Amino acid sequence: MQVGRIVGYAVATVKHPSYQGWRLLLVQMLGTDDKPDGEPILALDRLGAGVGDRVIVCNDGAEARALVGAKNSPARWFVMGLADR
């Protein structure tokens, strides 16, 4: 699990069928000092996070595939919570 900030959305006219119904978010990971850490990643979301929100993301690919219901899904990252701060 890591903390990140939503910096944007991704829109795809063609995407993997397992992504149907999921929003694709660009998440900038944050370091311990709340400064950007690395390149933004693409994460699946069903919690309704918006740009500027702090989120808790997980990179458990097996759990991401279980969430979307497809063992062959390319899903890796997903938003698992909204951070209070």
List, for residues 49-67, the tens digit of each pLDDT value: 999 999 999 999 999 999 9
Check residue 13 and give its pLDDT: 87
Residue 81 pairs in a beta bridge with: 56
The CATH number given to whatever domain includes residue 17 is: 2.40.50.220
Check residue 53 and give its pLDDT: 95
Q: For residue 44, with 0-12 CB atoms within 10 Å meaning exposed, 13-18 middle and 19 or more buried, which class applies?
A: buried
Closest CA to 72 of 22, 24, 17: 17
Number of domains in the chain: 1
Percent of the chain with pLDDT over 70: 99
Check residue 85 and give its pLDDT: 64
Check residue 51 and give its pLDDT: 96
**Parts of the chain with a pLDDT under 50:** none
Q: Residue 39 belongs to what domain range? A: 2-82
